[in-house]
Amino acid sequence: MASNILIQLTITGLAWGSVYACIALGFVLIFKATDIFNFAQPELMMLGAYLTFAFITVLKLPFIWAFLAALVLMALITALLEMLVVRPLVGEPVLSVIMVTLGLANVIRGMTGLVWGYEEYQFPAPFPKDPLTIFGVAINQAEIYTIVATVILLVGFFLFFKYSQSGISMRATAEDTSAAFLMGINVKGVFTASWVIASLVATVAGVFMASLTYLDPIMSHTGLKALPALILGGLDSVHGAILGGLIIGVAENLAGFYLADYLGSGINEITAYVLVLIIMMIRPYGLFGTKEIERV
């Protein structure tokens, strides 16, 4: 039935959109707190997935403990990267910072390939392989877990930023760094925390992406799909990044099925960018981005 196909495509699109949303959220967290656009975010996602894979296959840890160990290690790695590599560039020209994050992305990708090689690995995900049948529609359980986990994660972040002292400090720093510093907020600590949290979100995204497909150093290229989601929602909008990711995921999945016969099999690969171009012509700052007005 056509309705069953539509439901199935939409759920798969929401699962992929959830992955894009997590990656885009990491972009936004760092950008809002530090005014730095971290081009290495997809590589952090890939590294987190590989570390989880290593803890499962080499150390033989159960999935949940391997995942938690990967989160801790990723937090330590990104804290060191922020303090040693990124922090000295605060106040430097934007191009210099961009080149450093691009270089960091290439180093992480190269080191990952050096350690694990460039072949594909089947990720040992804990999700049952048998699909669930809901209202006559067979749904991959990994997709359901991806969507549910992302919702829980995003609700947790909302509560963290709204009610916790650390979250409020991060919001204050994002609004006005100088004022936050004068109010006694540890701005350097906020910068480090934003990178750490972004890496944790990226690890979650990487684990779910590997569960939906496979583990490969090139998976970071797929993570770049979060960039259209980020631009669509707005560079400085947390909820915009989430909604943008979901829109991109569903749109490319529907386009890949319904438009492939008319526009070619690769239409799903360009759907995100076409959608962004259309939105940018209408709202150059994204759906929820802050409109900047300069008075001359």
pLDDT digits (tens, 9 = 90+) for 147-205: 898 888 878 877 877 788 877 787 777 666 777 777 778 878 888 888 999 999 999 99
CB 192, CB 33: distance < 8 Å: no
pLDDT band (50, 70, 90) for residue 118 = confident
Across all residues in the chain, what is the average pLDDT? 84
pLDDT of residue 180: 75
pLDDT of residue 4: 78
What pTM value is reported for the model?
0.88
Distance in Å from the first CA to the final CA of the chain: 59
Query: Is the per-residue pLDDT at 34 higher than 80?
Result: no
For residue 84, give every residue at least 6 positions away whose Cβ sits within 8 Å of its Cβ, in sequence order, or none: none
Query: Is the per-residue pLDDT at 13 higher than 80?
Result: yes
Query: Is the per-residue pLDDT at 55 higher than 90?
Result: yes
pLDDT band (50, 70, 90) for residue 62 = very high
Query: Could you give the percent of the chain with pLDDT greater than 70?
Result: 95
pLDDT of residue 78: 93
Place of tokens 């939906």: 212
Token representation of residue 224: 């770049």
Query: Is the per-residue pLDDT at 89 higher than 80?
Result: no
Neighbours of 81 (CB within 10 A): 22
| Rounded average pLDDT over 115-139 | 84
CB 23, CB 227: distance < 8 Å: no
Task: Give me the domains of the chain, ranges plus CATH numbers.
Answer: 2-282 (1.10.3470)
Using the Cα atoms of residue 99, residue 71, residue 113 and residue 127 in order, give the sign of their dihedral: negative
Token representation of residue 223: 């993570």
Of the two residues 59 and 235, the one the predictor is more confident about is: 59
pLDDT of residue 1: 62
| Rounded average pLDDT over 204-226 | 86
Query: Is the per-residue pLDDT at 46 higher than 90?
Result: yes
pLDDT band (50, 70, 90) for residue 108 = very high
